[in-house]
Structure 1
Amino acid sequence: MKFLRLFFLIVLALLIIGGFGYLAMMEGEISFKNSSTNITTNPAVAAGALLFVTLLMALLWGILGWLWALPSKLKQSQTEAGRKKALEAYGLSVAAHDSGDYSESRRQAQKAISALPAAPATKFLAARAAFAADDITAAEKLYSELVETPNYQIVARKGLADIARQKGNFAAVISHADAALQITKTSTWPTEVIFKERINSGDWEGALVAIDEADKRGFVSKKTAARRRSVVLTAAAHRAEKNGNLDKALEYSARAVKQAPNFAPAVVMAARLNAKASKDWAAASTIENAWATDPHPALALAYKDLKTGHDKAAIAKWTLGLVKLNPDHRESKILIVEDHIANNNAIGAIAVVEPLIQVRATARLLALRAGAALIQADKKGFDDWMRKAAVAPREPDWSDLDPEGSAFAYEDEDWARMVEAFGDNGRLIHPRLERLQSSRLIMQDEKTDAGAPLIAAPKASNESVSPPSPDDPGVEF
């Protein structure tokens, strides 16, 4: 377009010059007469005068046009200068924020908003800097001004949700996240915020809805969604059991196992509840499937408890069935050690347990080794191994077993942490170990009830537990 305009102006100028040149080369005279005046001149002079007048008029027109456009150009120049100043301040503010200098970040943000006070970008920058500098009032005001601004609605809601969380107003956090969820189909933070708030408040049903929403939108992987559901359903089952709603607890725990068959807390709970419902076959199948992929000592104890009331030989034969499902796993080898000790086979127990001790000497393994020494009537060896066990590290998985109740008897805050640990990363946490609570005895003497069936419901706090007998080599770690 500019080329065509330039071409047109050049052609017009050539035509004008050509016209004046043609006029100047004409022969004769040009005269102007009226009643009192008679002006005569040759064509060249007339052409020159006409050209001068034309150029003068063009110059005057250009000056008038420039004066007319001057105010808008000055305003545009000021705007451009402000934009450059704001852009520079914006960059410095972001750099200071990322460097951790929040006061400098806010100072630069104030310069940016002073340069462009109406720009949404500078408002957002100032809100972000104010929040980082702990000026919650200013941040809330600026974010509130952006909630109806196109392209800034979602981030404004996120800022307001962060402020509400800092104030402890969890209902407002959910409200802002819900509002953002109605606007965007691609932003991940609303569903994640809703999920975490539901988890932190122990709203397991609401957490399941949030997981389904994130899964439907593709914000989390299928595996992560399944693991999260398993933890949440197990927590819901635990609460239902405490409230006496065993049917609901069994339904939740069965769904939890279906989502993550290797999640030991769900498997143990489902086994316990199935046993209460006289469905030993279902309990056994659930434990066997979990043991085949990810053994845990709580699974072995739950499996043994399915044969409560049977003789030792029957229980041993039953338990060794687990070993065949995963013979090379450490927990399977420990089951073999326990079987040897139960049958007074010290040599067999030592042959299996000592290679495990060489890999990692834990209190549990050292106590088992002490048990083998006791079978051999090696009192000194027993004392030596028990002293080592007393200072050896505890096994995290073994710490999950409550000596006076069921395994994985966690509180809501523990389940909330488990969601992140197992749901997001596929690993268990061990709250009892973290709180330095006592663990189940490494070995139980059958004359004591310290080894109460894992499958049994948790004991009430006013029930007494019989102490181990004097010859019981069990130790608590």
Structure 2
Amino acid sequence: MTRALWFLIKVAIVVGIAVWLADRPGTVNINWQGYVVETSFGVAVLITAAVLAFAVFLYRVVRGIIRAPRTLGRYSRSRRRERGYKALTRGMVAVAAGDAATARKMARKADGLLNEPPLTMLLSAQAAQLQGDDRAAKEYFTAMLDRPETAFLGLRGLLTQSLKAGDRVEALQLARRAQSLQPNTPWLLGTLYDLEARSGDWAAAEGTLQQAVQAGAISADLGRRHRATLLIERSFEAERRGRSDAALSHAQAAHDLVPGFVPAAARVARLLAAAGKLRPAAKAVERAWRINPHPDLADAYRDVLANYDPLTRVKLTDKLRVAAPNNAESHIALAQVSLAVQLWGEARTHLNKALELQPSRRLYRLLAELEREERQDEEAARAWLAQAAAAPADPSWTCTACNAVSPTWGGLCGHCGAFDSLEWKAPTMTVSLMAPESTTTAITHQPSERPVGPAVPQSAT
């Protein structure tokens, strides 16, 4: 509608000018070199307009001829870029589809058509990875490091290759170098944190963990749990270096951060007891017991109460039962202390109560021990042991990454090296981290010591 209106306006203007010239006739005389040209004013205007139009047309023709080579060159380059980007797109689709041959072919074609190495090198590297040519992929990724705009992509590719090859030392170096280029990249912070933790660089891992939580790479709840684990490991490290105050400080910080975290509560209780602070040590266990009754806490509690007389130990242990009266672990903890001081009736009462709440292998073994110790009844003991053999496996510290079972908790899995992967659960397939009794050593974890180095795994059963 608007274009039609403008056309009508233009026609009206032309008609108006024509009418205006017709109403005002006149003549134009041109005397040049003895020639006299005489015409009407309107005709002179038309001739002038025609000459100007022809001049404009002639100018455009000449300009087009002069610019033809440049125009053809620009068109040719445009076509090459179009074909190059089409090949690049097809190559990326092939990479996503896992078609290594097409991806490699399209990478070579795009490289020949486009003068943009950053894009073609990345596609070539990905195509090489699909074909399993890690050496060629590494060469492409390494070449990308020479260009600022592709350095981060190159580092990511090399980092992925190092992780795939299991070279954590090189992966850690690459991750730190990549972080210097992109310090707030979530996936990179998560990877760097995991590598630092696996390498035992606890202080650096703690700093990176805080950045990862802030960047959203790790949730706040999981971040607190990971930080508590790091603090416990720092506590062990400080103790090995003879810094008992720092060891206690780190353990206490872990316990305050996650009060129900069993390793933190047991660690701080033993350190407090070693420092002669028995009352705070007992309170630490009792605080955690209300949240998460656990055999390791009961062991730590017995260590704290070791210097008390037998009846006092039984009386104080009853606090755990009061804190969680409907949990089998409370009754088992009290039964174990009663067994140790030969209060057979008390032990049997609590073992039977625990049996009502939650039967387990460990419970049947304790009942067998009670029959031997109190009545020297081997037949009854064997009956309980037979039930223990038929019962489901007891929970243990099991790695969620490889399903290996460890006799004690640790920040790192001794089988696969995963960090903070040990959970208290019944394993579905057992891979023992405990060296067999027939070998020279077995893993032990004394209250004031930390096991050093991974154990020798047995075959899965």
Q: TM-score by structure 2 length? A: 0.73
**Residues 263-283 of structure 1, C-alpha deviations (whole Å, 9 max, x = no match):** 222322222222222121222
Q: Do the aligned residues in 2 keep the contact of 1:340 with 1:348 (CA within 8 Å)? A: no
2:186 matched residue in structure 1: 188
Q: Aligned runs of 1:293-332 on 2, under 5 Å?
A: 293-332=291-330
Q: Do the aligned residues in 2 keep the contact of 1:399 with 1:439 (CA within 8 Å)? A: no
Report the CA distance shift for 1:166/1:83 in structure 2 as closer, same or farther (over 3 A).
same
CA distance in 1, matches of 2:19, 2:66: 34
Q: CA offset at residue 38 of structure 1?
A: 4.9
Tell me if 1:265 matches 2:256: no
Q: Do the aligned residues in 1 keep the contact of 2:175 with 2:191 (CA within 8 Å)? A: yes
Tell me if 1:348 matches 2:346: no
Q: Do the aligned residues in 2 keep the contact of 1:32 with 1:40 (CA within 8 Å)? A: yes
Instruction: Tell me which moved more, 262-271 or 413-422.
Output: 413-422
Q: CA offset at residue 299 of structure 1?
A: 0.8
Alignment gaps of 5+ in structure 2? 400-405, 438-443, 453-460
Tell me if 1:434 matches 2:431: yes
Kindly provide the amino acid, as one letter, of the partner of residue 92 in structure 1.
R
Report how many residues are paired.
431
Kindly provide the amino acid, as one letter, of the partner of residue 144 in structure 1.
L
Q: Do the aligned residues in 2 keep the contact of 1:24 with 1:43 (CA within 8 Å)? A: no
Report the CA distance shift for 1:102/1:312 in structure 2 as closer, same or farther (over 3 A).
farther
1:469 matched residue in structure 2: none
Instruction: Tell me which moved more, 279-288 or 202-211.
Output: 202-211
CA distance in 2, matches of 1:389, 1:429: 18
Q: Aligned runs of 1:8-407 on 2, under 5 Å?
A: 32-34=30-32, 37-38=35-36, 49-118=47-116, 120-133=118-131, 134=134, 135-146=136-147, 148-149=148-149, 154-163=152-161, 173-174=171-172, 176-184=174-182, 186-215=184-213, 219-338=217-336, 343-345=343-345, 348-349=349-350, 351-357=352-358, 362-371=360-369, 379-390=378-389, 392-397=391-396
Alignment gaps of 5+ in structure 1? 401-405, 441-451, 461-476
Q: Do the aligned residues in 2 keep the contact of 1:25 with 1:43 (CA within 8 Å)? A: no
CA distance in 2, matches of 1:458, 1:215: 28
Report the CA distance shift for 1:243/1:308 in structure 2 as closer, same or farther (over 3 A).
same
Report the CA distance shift for 1:62/1:307 in structure 2 as closer, same or farther (over 3 A).
same
Q: Do the aligned residues in 2 keep the contact of 1:230 with 1:266 (CA within 8 Å)? A: yes
1:468 matched residue in structure 2: none
CA distance in 2, matches of 1:76, 1:322: 85
Q: Do the aligned residues in 1 keep the contact of 2:194 with 2:419 (CA within 8 Å)? A: no
2:440 matched residue in structure 1: none
**Residues 367-387 of structure 1, C-alpha deviations (whole Å, 9 max, x = no match):** 234346655776444323313
Kindly provide the amino acid, as one letter, of the partner of residue 248 in structure 2.
L
Q: CA offset at residue 114 of structure 1?
A: 3.3
**Residues 128-177 of structure 1, C-alpha deviations (whole Å, 9 max, x = no match):** 4445542333332442144x12xx55444433444565677766655554
CA distance in 2, matches of 1:458, 1:109: 53
CA distance in 1, matches of 2:168, 2:86: 37
CA distance in 2, matches of 1:188, 1:439: 42
Kindly provide the amino acid, as one letter, of the partner of residue 437 in structure 1.
M
CA distance in 2, matches of 1:372, 1:127: 67
Percent identity at matched positions? Answer: 23
**Residues 174-210 of structure 1, C-alpha deviations (whole Å, 9 max, x = no match):** 5554454445454224433332222222122222232
Q: Which structure has more RCO (C-alpha within 8 Å, separation ≥ 6)?
A: 1
Q: Do the aligned residues in 1 keep the contact of 2:407 with 2:434 (CA within 8 Å)? A: no
Kindly provide the amino acid, as one letter, of the partner of residue 89 in structure 1.
A
Kindly provide the amino acid, as one letter, of the partner of residue 193 in structure 2.
F
Q: Do the aligned residues in 2 keep the contact of 1:231 with 1:418 (CA within 8 Å)? A: no
Report the CA distance shift for 1:340/1:175 in structure 2 as closer, same or farther (over 3 A).
closer
Output the aligned Cα RMSD: 4.6
CA distance in 2, matches of 1:390, 1:410: 28
CA distance in 2, matches of 1:120, 1:87: 13
Q: CA offset at residue 108 of structure 1?
A: 3.0
Report the CA distance shift for 1:255/1:392 in structure 2 as closer, same or farther (over 3 A).
same
**Residues 219-256 of structure 1, C-alpha deviations (whole Å, 9 max, x = no match):** 54443333222212222322343455444433332233
Q: CA offset at residue 297 of structure 1?
A: 0.3
CA distance in 2, matches of 1:22, 1:60: 31
1:471 matched residue in structure 2: none
Q: CA offset at residue 318 of structure 1?
A: 1.9
Report the CA distance shift for 1:330/1:378 in structure 2 as closer, same or farther (over 3 A).
same
CA distance in 1, matches of 2:171, 2:446: 40
Kindly provide the amino acid, as one letter, of the partner of residue 394 in structure 1.
A
Kindly provide the amino acid, as one letter, of the partner of residue 261 in structure 1.
P
Kindly provide the amino acid, as one letter, of the partner of residue 277 in structure 2.
K
Q: Secondary structure at the match of 1:419?
A: coil
CA distance in 1, matches of 2:165, 2:447: 43
2:455 matched residue in structure 1: none
